[in-house]
Amino acid sequence: MEKKNQHYSSQFPNVGVKVFTVPVSLHRHLYLFKTVTGVFSYKKLDLGTKVFIEHMTLPKKEGYLLDLGCGYGAIGIVLAYLNPRSSVYLIDTNRRALWCTRENIRHNLSERSGKVIVLHGSYFKPLQNKNIKFEAIYMNPPLRNGRKEFLALCKDMPTFLKRNGQFQFVIKKKMGANYIYNYLIQNLSSLYEKINVTFKRSGYWIFSLVSI
């Protein structure tokens, strides 16, 4: 494992704190993201995240959106900026990442902090008892936790999606995108109306799963 990403899933990363600013233009808008050591891809926006943000499908209707495993918040913040009438949830286990996310919401989305909600915890645990069904869930998954964990999450996902809700995620081809596609088709076709790879570029595949 590379040292720079060694601690990104930890609840309390055990590395010194150094703050960075990551400027990035997405959908023709300039965002300035504050990041710190111990957070995923803190020196620059991950290429997979960038490809994903540029090519993810935006929901047609307003509603609840979720950035699951938000890191310093890039996906969720862009979603909130582009969908000002929707409520956007951002969840992560890494408290340092969530500190960045809150700062980044304040600096990049100054007028709408009420509809952007940051929660700490593992996957859907922070949503227990909230009874929210999402229009769409977006993710650059922590595959370093293991493919098995991610595939189990794909199985649970429809419980948290509205009818025809979308689960969109990005996978690096080298991290087993093809295996994941075949697994989903063979094992989870009964849970989803559609399982598609909607975009491939720079070694990344974007998936879209539509719930029944």
- State both tokens at 86: 């929707």
Give counts: helices (H), strands (E), the chain: 5, 9
Judged by CB under 6 A, the residue of 59, 142, 158, 165 near ligand SAM is 142
Nearest residue to 93 via CA among 175, 7, 2: 7
* Residue list 96-135, contact with ligand SAM (CB under 6 A): 97, 122-123
Residue from 6, 37, 145, 198 touching ligand SAM (CB under 6 A): that is: 145
Question: How distant, in Å, are the alpha carbons of 9, 20, 171, 194, 200 from that of 197?
Answer: 26, 34, 10, 10, 8
Q: What is the spatial distance between Cα 86 and Cα 62, in angstroms, rounded to a whole number?
A: 5
Sole window of 20-28, 77-85, 137-145, 195-203 interacting with ligand SAM (rule: CB under 6 A): 137-145
- Which span sits near ligand SAM by CB under 6 A: 71-79, 106-114, 172-180, 203-211? 71-79
Contacting ligand SAM (CB under 6 A), which of 75, 105, 161, 171?
75
Q: Which two tokens stand for residue 183?
A: 């697994």
Rounded to a whole number of angstroms, the minimum distance from the CB of residue 61 to ligand SAM is 23
Would you count residue 87 as binding ligand SAM (CB under 6 A)?
A: no
Distance in angstroms (rounded) separating the CA atoms of residues 26 and 23: 10
- Chain residues binding ligand SAM by CB under 6 A are 8-9, 40-41, 46, 49, 69-71, 74-75, 91-94, 97, 122-123, 140, 142, 145
